[in-house]
Chains A and B, each alone.
Chain A
Amino acid sequence: MSSVKFGIVVFPGSNCDRDVAWVTRGLLGCPTRLIWYAERDLSGLDVVVLPGGFSYGDYLRCGAIARFAPVMGSLQEHVARGGYVLGICNGFQILTEAGLLPGALVRNANLHFICDRVGLRIERQDLLWTGAYPAGATITLPIAHGEGRYTCDPDTLKQLQDQGQIVFRYDPVSPNGSLDQIAGLCSPSGRVLGLMPHPERAADPDLPGQDGIPLWQSILQGLAA
Chain B
Amino acid sequence: MQFQAQIQIHLRPSVLDPAGVAVQSSLHQLGHTQVQQVRIGKHIQLQLEAPDAETAQKRVGELCDQLLANPVIETYAIRVEPVGS
Contact = CB atoms under 8 A, between A and B. Distances in A.
A and B bound? yes
A61 B71 CA distance: 12
A151 B73 contact: yes
B18 A109 contact: yes
Interface stretch (A14-22, A47-55, A99-107, A135-143): A99-107
Interface in A125-161: 149, 151-153
Interface in B32-85: 67-68, 70, 72-73
29 contacts: A60-B67, A60-B68, A65-B67, A68-B67, A96-B72, A97-B70, A102-B72, A103-B72, A104-B70, A104-B73, A106-B11, A106-B15, A106-B16, A106-B73, A107-B18, A107-B19, A108-B18, A109-B16, A110-B18, A111-B18, A111-B19, A111-B22, A149-B16, A151-B73, A152-B72, A153-B14, A153-B72, A177-B16, A177-B18
A175 B70 CA distance: 24
B67 A104 contact: no
Interface of A: 60-61, 64-65, 68, 96-97, 102-104, 106-111, 149, 151-153, 177
Contacts of B70: 61, 64, 97, 104
B18 to A, nearest CB: 5
Contacts, number: 36
Contacts of B15: 106, 151
A104 B68 CA distance: 15
B9 to A, nearest CB: 9
Given A104-B72, A151-B73, A152-B72, A64 B18 contact: no
Contacts of A103: 72
Nearest to A110: B18
Contacts of B67: 60, 64-65, 68
A65 B14 CA distance: 25
Contacts of A106: 11, 15-16, 73
Nearest to A103: B72
A64 B15 CA distance: 18
Contacts of A104: 70, 72-73
Contacts of B19: 107, 111
Contacts of B73: 104, 106, 151
A65 B66 CA distance: 10
A97 B18 CA distance: 21
Nearest to A108: B18
Contacts of B14: 153
A65 B70 CA distance: 11
Contacts of A151: 15, 72-73
A177 B72 CA distance: 17
B71 to A, nearest CB: 10
Nearest 10 CB-CB pairs, A to B?
Answer: A104-B73, A104-B72, A111-B18, A109-B18, A107-B18, A104-B70, A151-B15, A106-B73, A111-B22, A61-B70
